Structure 1
Amino acid sequence: MGSRRPLRLAAFALAFSALAGTGLAGQTVRSQADKPLGVVELFTSQGCSSCPPADEFFAELAAKEDIVALAYHVNYWDYLGWQDTLSRKENTERQYDYMRAFGTRSVYTPQAVINGRSHVNGASRREVDGALARMEKSGEGMRVGIKVSRTSDRVMIDTGDAGNGPSDAHVVIVYFDPPQEIEIGKGENSGRRLTYWNAVTGIQTAGMWHGKAQRYELPMTEISKKGGCAVLLQSVGKDGLPGPILGAAFIHKP
């Protein structure tokens, strides 16, 4: 694969503000656990013959309440005869950014990036589960708690304190589609009907976190128009490449 320009997670012009206070505005109607076991980012393609087993395993991960599972459909296998209906060039760029961050020389599918720290074969239950357990035990799991709550018109994202850990990270909002069943018409998976979960449709940086407990607000209108949404607290290197994910949570629709 040729080199690609590193992805810069662009700040977006929503009415998204960081607040120092901790009191809720209005009545909170939903709250969720603040420290999942980990984050699994699967890079996959409808045109990859090796991907269906990974997609099926990913469906199991997506159903777990203690894992934030996100599927990034890439476009570089489209030349094989089938254009992935869920692929986005931004997803491919994110995978290339991880490639540079990990110091590897190529990308592949199915690739599972665990907690932004390492990558394994996304079809291998043993490797994915092993990486999650190993990182949780070694302190490389979700170190910073994130609590998500909402009122009738806004979502509140409360990030915890880093203590003696890392002091800077991006607050990244990841949008994704609800489960979709797709019939593959051409290519290596021609004739198969597969269900795809949490296919990413957009990635935006919502703000900066500097190691201290902080609140961010997002208009409920932005969540309501999306299929699904997650927040990642992800460190970013000076070169703009993605680093370890320190905390994560789903943002549920009303």
Structure 2
Amino acid sequence: MASRLKLFLAATGLAALLEPAFAEPPRAVVELFTSQGCSNCPPADALLVEYSRQPDIVALSFPVNYWDYLGWKDTLAHADFTARQKNYAHARSDRQIFTPQMIVNGKKSCIGSDQVQIEKAIQMTLKGRSALPVDVTIAEQNGMVTVSVLETGETMQREAQVWVLPVLRSQTVPIERGENKGKTVTYANVVRGLKRIGEWHGGSARFEVPVETARGGGDGYVVLLQTSHDDRPSVILGAAKSAGL
């Protein structure tokens, strides 16, 4: 897989931008739907911090707003993240929404603090592979981010959207009221937005977006190649993260 991607990058002139830091595709994208107003969430938030330190994992925090009525308004939450969680539940047809909820590779729902369950979900969604099935790489030059997608022939799904998600690498929040009153919680890779930058229809493709747009007020970003089901997010085929994440 690595050799095929290197040949593609050489042909497109991107190899020089990525060398010598070359990495295999990630084995999982884990999305934690969490809330500062949920007493069960801090252990899951701590686990996501640990996942964020693994180079083969893309770890994302999505703070939701539906527990704000419990006495503390989540300072990082956004209605779009609540909508994403609900859309996942509709796409899976189970309509299960809770915090802390971890979505693995856009497919499996887990309790966000249960590492054993999460690891089982990662293996289940990989279906015997060692990594996500489509290679996605990113390179920055002259104020632009170039996203390169290379199909390896390991997936039957050849229709997906390319998304860029600005993130804050780390955010520590003292919680003054509600169920977590008196606690100070650190969140990793807090998503600040979701921006669709293109459509992928199989094969090799390139997409560009300004670095300023990719970061979007954060200090890093993640790129997802994600399928949809009835216009709702579904299986993630590939992903990449900016340096430092």
Interval of TM-score (by shorter of Structure 1 and Structure 2): 0.7 to 0.9
CA–CA distance in structure 2, aligned partners of residues 38 and 92 of structure 1? 21
Report whether the alignment pairs 1:226 with 2:224. no
Q: Is the 8 A contact 1:50 1:110 kept in 2?
A: yes
Q: Which residue of 1 aligns with 2:236?
A: 245
Asked if the contact 2:164–2:214 (Cα under 8 Å) also holds between the matched residues in 1, the reply is no
Distance 2:202 2:111 in 1: 32
Query: Which runs of 5 or more residues in structure 1 are unaligned?
Result: 1-20
Partner residue in 2 for 1:96: 86
CA 1:196–1:211: 2 relative to 1, 3 Å: same
User: Could you tell me how far apart the structure 2 residues matched to 1:64 and 1:154 are?
Assistant: 26
Pairwise CA RMSD: 2.1
- Structure 1 position 216 matched with structure 2 position 217: no
- Residue of 12, 19, 29 corresponding to 1:23: 12
Q: In structure 2, what residue type is equivalent to 1:43?
A: F
Q: 1:122 aligns with which of 112, 115, 124?
A: 112
Q: Which has the higher contact order (CA 8 A, sep 6+)?
A: 1
1:83 to 70, 73, 76: 73
Worse-superposed segment, 193-202 or 140-149: 140-149
Do the aligned residues in 1 keep the contact of 2:30 with 2:102 (CA within 8 Å)? yes
Preserved CA contact (<8 Å) 2:86 2:95 = no
> Counterpart of 1:229 in structure 2: which amino acid?
Y
Q: Give the structure 2 partner of residue 205 of structure 1.
A: 196
Aligned counterpart, 2:95? 105
Distance 1:204 1:211, change over 3 A: same
1:235 corresponds to: 227
Structure 1 contact 132–141 (Cα < 8 Å) conserved: no
* Equivalent position SS for 2:134: coil
Unmatched tracts of structure 2, length 5 or more: 1-9
Pairing 1:168–2:159 present: yes
Query: 1:162-195 CA distances to partner (integer Å, 9 max, x unpaired)?
Result: 5252110000111111211110000000000111
Q: 1:188 and 1:106, CA in 2 relative to 1: closer, same or farther beyond 3 A?
A: same
Change over 3 Å in CA distance of 1:226–1:130 after alignment to 2: same
The answer as to whether partners of 1:32 and 1:148 remain within 8 angstroms in 2 is no
Q: In the alignment, is the contact (CA less than 8 A) between 1:34 and 1:146 conserved in 2?
A: no
Percent of residue pairs identical: 37
Cα distance, 1:236 vs structure 2: 1.0
1:159 aligns with 149
Counterpart of 1:56?
46
Question: What TM-score, normalized to structure 2?
Answer: 0.88
- Per-residue displacement from partner, 1:8-66 (whole Å, max 9, x unpaired)? xxxxxxxxxxxxx9523796266552510110000000000000110011100011110
For residues 18 and 125 of structure 2, the distance between their equivalents in structure 1, rounded to whole angstroms, comes to 33
Stretch moving more, 29-38 or 156-165: 29-38
User: Which residue of structure 2 lines up, in the alignment, with residue 15 of structure 1?
Assistant: none
Q: Is 1:175–1:229's contact at 8 Å kept on the other side of the alignment? A: yes
- What is the CA distance between 1:153 and its match in structure 2? 2.4
1:243 Cα deviation from its structure 2 partner: 1.2
TM-score when normalising by structure 1: 0.85
Between 157-166 and 36-45, the greater mean CA deviation after superposition? 157-166
